[in-house]
Structure 1
Amino acid sequence: MAAGSTICKAQLSMADMDRNYYETHEITIAQHPSETQQRLMIRLAAFALNAADRLTICKGIGGEDEEPELWDKNYGGDIELWIDLGQVDEKRLRKACGRAEQVIVYTYNQKSAQAWWRQNSTTYARFKNLSVRHLNAEGIDKLCARTMRLQCNIADGELTMHSELGDVVITQEIWQ
């Protein structure tokens, strides 16, 4: 954790109708000084969309390059799911696809993400265990607080996050 990081606590009450997954997760997450509230909340949205008992939020910005934003390791230590955010470079994706059974990249800034995808989609098509999804999450930053209680409902791939600060509907575009 970088000096000056803000520690946030989130309680995610999950109701994922697509996977029949209903759990509550208590999460402590460090917000790096250079990380926006939007990006922090995108990390929580990515967690919600893939919630599982062993899914772990890693160090994020300022962390080690050896770790993704989130991962799910089996009991033998093998990486079953590697999740990164933003516009990931080819070298990092090649390494991730070699180490993990499944890799998901969530992009979130529409204009820059579309330009990045147009430039890299042909190259990334060769990674058979890679999924690239764009999150339309307008206003997600308004849910950010030091302590959060979020009700996360997922149906038909659409995530709705509710808190005392408001509601946000997050849709996904599957690019690969």
Structure 2
Amino acid sequence: MALKATIHKVRLQLADMDRNIYGDHELTIARHPSETDERMLMRVLAYALNVPADNEKGDLVLAKSLWDVDEPDLWQVDLTGQVIHWIEVGQPDDRRLAKASSRAEKVTVYSYIASTPIWWAALVGKLNRAPKVEVWSIDPDVSQALGKMVARTMAWQITIQDGTVWVSDTVNTVEITPKLLKARDEREYN
């Protein structure tokens, strides 16, 4: 008998002072049986870091990456079906990122695993011709602390200012400073 997904609910109060985005968001997450708490909450963090100011180009949604290899962890798709933003959590290989680049206007990766330096050293040369890809590293100790904040129902306050993210619930606060490993080539889009 196959294991079923576990449903988690997250209520986010977001104050992103860097992008001037404020609002409340309700997320329902179907956590795949093979997904860790840490990875699931990294998807929530990626949502908070990338939620658009409006839904003019579609909503940012949690996709079915663990169920469907043709989908990322999160994505923003407009009404015509064009993928605006493809977001991966973890350590995707260069072939997956090339595929994502061919489908989306922009691609963002958040790596949070202790082996990120090894993964990045093997990948960096392969992404030189990937102007749409942006790669961030999250300290593994911080992502593990975030993973400990899991509950079936969560209420988080997320504040983002000067590149630093504070995630708080009723008991804990985790400070996260994502490190940019590779920026998108913005000249491609101007």
Give the TM-score normalised by structure 2. Answer: 0.87
Partner Cα separation in structure 1 for residue 49 and residue 10 of structure 2: 15
Partner of 2:188: none
Q: Which residue of 1 aligns with 2:181?
A: 175
Distance in 2 of aligned mates of 1:77 and 1:156: 33
What percent of counterpart residues are identical?
Answer: 39
In the other structure, the counterpart of 2:129 is 126
Rounded Cα–Cα distance in structure 1 between residues aligned with 2:171 and 2:77:
33
Matches of 2:43 and 2:32 in 1, distance apart? 12
Cα distance, 1:75 vs structure 2:
2.3
Q: Deviations over 1:39-59 (max 9, x none)?
A: 111010000100124100012
Aligned mate of 1:57, from 59, 62, 65: 62
> Within 1, Cα distance between the matches of 2:176 and 2:78?
28
- Please, which runs of 5 or more residues in structure 1 have no aligned partner? none
Report whether the alignment pairs 1:162 with 2:168: yes
RMSD of Structure 2 on Structure 1 (CA): 1.2
TM-superposition CA deviations, 1:10-38 (whole Å, max 9, x none):
01111000111011110000111111111
Conserved? CA contact 1:142–1:165, under 8 Å: no
SS at match of 2:151: coil
- Tell me how many residue pairs correspond in the alignment: 173
Any gaps of 5 or more consecutive residues in structure 2? Answer: 183-190
Alpha-carbon distance, 1:158 to partner: 1.3
* Deviating 4+ runs (over 2 angstroms): none
Structure 1 contact 142–166 (Cα < 8 Å) conserved = no
Superposition deviation, residue 4 in structure 1: 2.4
Alignment partner, residue 91 of structure 2: 87
Q: Distance in 2 between matches of 1:75 and 1:170?
A: 33
